[in-house]
Amino acid sequence: MAVLCSLAELPDGSFRVILDDARKGQELGAWVSDSLFTFKDYSPGCLNNLASVSEAELADLSYNLLARLLASNGLGI
């Protein structure tokens, strides 16, 4: 199991950071998106400068990523 992270531009110019659960695909080294885990939308221009994203938001993203990986491997937090 893995967590697939992607960035999508939305029609209004905002961006969505998406974390999906992923599983190994049939081909060697391939991963397939399995299900949505969580996402966060950012207003237009917000991600032009990473310094404009608060440390708390970056910490939340990191926390969610690590928590999902631990949970998928049967480990508690």
Report how many domains make up the chain.
1
Q: pLDDT, tens digit, for every residue of 12-59? A: 999 999 999 888 888 998 888 888 888 999 998 888 888 888 999 999
In a domain, residue 34? The reply is yes
Is residue 77 over pLDDT 80? Answer: no
The answer to whether residue 44 is domain-embedded is yes
First to last CA, the chain: 17
Structural domain of 51? 2-72
pLDDT for 76 beyond 80: no
Count Cα neighbours of 25 within 13 Å in the Cβ-side half-sphere. 8
In a domain, 77, yes or no: no
Q: Which two tokens stand for residue 23?
A: 């599983």
- In this structure, which amino acid lies at residue 10? L
pLDDT at 19: 92
